[in-house]
Amino acid sequence: MPRLAPSILSADFGRLAQDLQMIEAAGAQVVHVDVMDGHFVPNITIGPVGAQAVSHNSALPLDVHLMISDPEKYLDAFIAAGAAWLTFHIEATDHAHRLAEHIKGAGVRAGVSINPGTPVSSLEAILKYVDYVLVMTVNPGFGGQSFIDGSLEKIAAVRDLIEIVNPAVEIEVDGGITTSNAAEVLAAGADTLVAGSAVFGADDPAGAVREFLDLF
Ligand code: DX5
Ligand code: ZN
């Protein structure tokens, strides 16, 4: 069964607790938290304090997406903040295996993410050691961007590589996901869909969550 992970990047931070309760009540299975450092990506969001506030106000597993340089310096802070899933970018480290082992050693699901411009082949050596791959279908940094053409083929190529190297690995897809393209993203091989603006930018965010779930 696929999962929906609403991204709080597009939520109202002044009423985050209510927004978190709303997505949970509507049936979302995961809450996605985007961490940006103004260095790996051209935007700054929240750090461990913000992630902890999300964790304290939601019963959903906290899915922390680190879009930061030097991710190894901050893994423990986000684990302490309550991350149940923790993703680093393959482009941000020379030591992906060490990071994945560290995350899993803490009892947290380890994910590795690739940017749109990063080849699928860059995942080959790390797939044995992670629980999921986060395929970016926009250039990370901002919510509300359009799904990049050709991303369905890339997701399918990641799925093919997973089947060869480690079939237990799941795929999460992030960026430009809407109720219009969700079905084809799932068909290409996704297990978890991240949606920010398509949920929190909707007139009826709870209805948008339910609309996604109806497609699953
Ligand atoms: C983008 C973030 C995404 C973002 C998705 O850098 O990683 O998680 O919140 O937003 P939408 O769904 O609006 O593309
Ligand atoms: Zn994200």
Q: 37, 63, 131, 174: which is the annotated catalytic residue?
A: 174
For residue 97, give both structure tokens: 């295996």
pLDDT in tens, 167-216: 999 999 999 999 999 999 999 999 999 999 999 999 999 999 999 999 99
Model pLDDT for residues 6-52, shown as the tens digit of each residue = 999 999 999 999 999 999 999 999 999 999 999 999 999 999 999 99
CB atoms near residue 53 (< 10 Å): 18
- Indicate whether residue 194 lines ligand 1 (CB < 6 A): yes
At residue 137 the predicted structure's pLDDT band, cuts being 50, 70 and 90, is very high
Number of domains in the chain: 1
Is the CB of residue 175 below 6 angstroms from any atom belonging to ligand 1? yes
> In angstroms, rounded to a whole number, what is the distance separating the alpha carbons of residues 121 and 109?
22
- Mean pLDDT of the 95-103 span: 98
| pTM of the predicted model as reported, rounded to 2 decimal places | 0.98
Query: Would you say the CB of residue 140 lies under 6 angstroms from ligand 1?
Result: yes
- Measured distance CA(190)–CA(209) in Å, rounded: 17
Q: CB-side exposure of 182: number of CA atoms within 13 Å?
A: 24
**What strand order describes the sheet that includes 31-36?**
3-6, 192-195, 170-174, 132-136, 109-114, 83-89, 62-67, 31-36
97 Cα–ligand 1 center, Å: 25
Q: Whose CA is nearest to atom 7 of ligand 1?
A: 140
Query: Residue 204 Cα, ligand 1 centroid: separation in angstroms?
Result: 19
Q: Which domain holds residue 108?
A: 3-215
Tokens coding 84: 């149940």
Ligand 2 center from residue 210 Cα (angstroms): 20
- Residue 98 sits in a domain of what CATH number? 3.20.20.70
Instruction: For residue 174, indicate whether it is catalytic.
Output: yes
